[in-house]
Amino acid sequence: MPEAPFAYDGLDRVIHEKARLGLLTSLMAAPKGLAFGDLKQLCGLTDGNLSRHLQVLQEAGLVEIRKGHGTGRGGTRPLTTCHLTQAGRTRFLDYLAVLEQVVRDAAKAAETANLPLVARPA
């Protein structure tokens, strides 16, 4: 038996933050990437908050940010798109495997203690 079976070393701190977890999940579902505005709406973030979290993910090699132009009213406008890198996809899937283990361990512990798995309102 491992010395610290509940240490969950694979829970990557870069990914584990709530906003970044949402961003990576959104990008995982969009192989062609997502526009900055779409990510902002999907994850409920402000421009500044989204920019900062994307910067952290980009520095970690998890996402790629591409600047270009899109079409809009009156011609072209700047368009920033975000893409999950191949390394980011792999790292995120590894993270999810550890997170699934956390859920299995918690369910087993609750079952062993004869506790309900889902909290019920009092």
Tell me the average pLDDT across 68-84.
Answer: 81
Closest by alpha carbon to 87, among 53, 56, 63? 63
* Confidence at residue 70, expressed as pLDDT on a 0 to 100 scale: 75
Tokens of 78: 């700047």
| Predicted confidence (pLDDT) at residue 3 exceeds the cutoff of 70 | yes
Strand, helix or coil at 64? Answer: strand
Q: Which residues contact 69 (CB under 8 A, 6 or more apart)?
A: 76, 77, 78, 79
| Whether the predicted pLDDT of 116 surpasses 70 | no
Average pLDDT rounded to a whole number, residues 78-82: 92
Average pLDDT rounded to a whole number, residues 2-20 = 90
Q: Encode pLDDT of 27-72 as tens digits.
A: 999 999 999 999 999 999 999 999 999 999 999 999 999 998 877 6
Is residue 116 within 8 Å of residue 90, measured between CB atoms? no
